[in-house]
Amino acid sequence: MTTHKETETAAATPIVVHATRSIQELDEGLTKTAQKITKAVQEGLDSYASARKESSSKKDGAFHDVLQNHSKALRKALPIAAEAPADLLDAIADMKVVKDIFHHKDDDDED
């Protein structure tokens, strides 16, 4: 014979499993997005440091080229960082809970 408490736990388990899965899937997407932004920042900083070093070989070059050096860094970093929002949306779209919602919606539309 199952007790009331055992029945509540058994009924709650699928909800916990689905919630845990959703959190893990979202976490994977957030992690990928954070890595992409980190990569963009690092490559931008590397680009800036390289351009600044090259400029510093000229008299007052680093000072005179500061805007150009920043521009080079942004040209390097922004295309990489621009992928981050799409990566996050892709991760959300790939979540089972989201697929289930849209799948059920499609089923309802066919009736």
Within 8 A by CB and 6+ apart from 68, the residues are: 51, 55
3-state secondary structure the chain: CCCHHHHHHHHHHHHHHHHHHHHHHHHHHHHHHHHHHHHHHHHHHHHHHHHHHHHHCCCCHHHHCHHHHHHHHHHHHHHHHCHHHHHHHHHHHCCHHHHHHHHHHHHHHHC
pLDDT tens-digit series, residues 41-94: 999 999 999 999 999 888 888 788 999 999 999 999 999 999 999 999 988 888
Domain boundaries, the chain: 15-110
Residue with the bigger pLDDT between 48 and 1: it is 48
